[in-house]
C-alpha cells in the first residue's frame, strides 16, 4: 500500500482489515421500534370546533337536497363557498 498510493482497492482493503481487527464493522440492526421512535410526534391534536361545523356544507350533501331544501339553505351554502368551508367531496379537483 505504501508503494502505490493511487491504488484505491488496496486502500479500501486495508481499511476493511483495520475495522475487522478492531471490531468496528459490526452494524447495528434497527428494529421497527427504533424506527418508530425516531419519527417526530406531534403533541397537539386539532379537533374540529363546533363553530366550524355550523357553516360547513358538503357537495354530496347539497346533491342529495331537494329543490325546497336547497332554496332554504342557499344563502348558507353560498356563504360556506365564499368562506372556504364548502367541501368538494364529489368532484374534487375536477371543478
Contacts of 8 by beta carbon, 8 Å cutoff, 6+ apart: none
Each residue's pLDDT tens digit, 31-69: 666 666 666 666 555 554 444 457 899 999 999 999 999
> 6 or 49: which carries more pLDDT confidence?
6
Strands (E) across 1-95 are located at 57-58, 86-87
Amino acid at each position: 500500500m505504501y508503494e502505490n498510493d493511487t491504488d484505491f482497492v488496496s486502500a479500501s482493503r486495508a481499511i476493511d482489515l483495520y475495522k475487522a481487527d478492531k471490531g468496528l464493522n459490526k452494524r447495528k440492526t434497527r428494529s421497527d421500534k427504533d424506527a418508530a421512535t425516531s419519527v417526530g410526534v406531534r403533541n397537539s391534536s386539532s379537533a374540529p370546533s363546533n363553530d366550524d361545523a355550523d357553516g360547513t356544507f358538503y357537495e354530496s350533501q347539497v346533491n342529495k337536497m331537494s329543490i325546497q331544501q336547497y332554496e332554504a339553505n342557499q344563502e348558507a351554502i353560498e356563504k360556506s363557498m365564499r368562506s372556504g368551508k364548502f367541501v368538494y367531496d364529489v368532484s374534487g379537483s375536477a371543478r
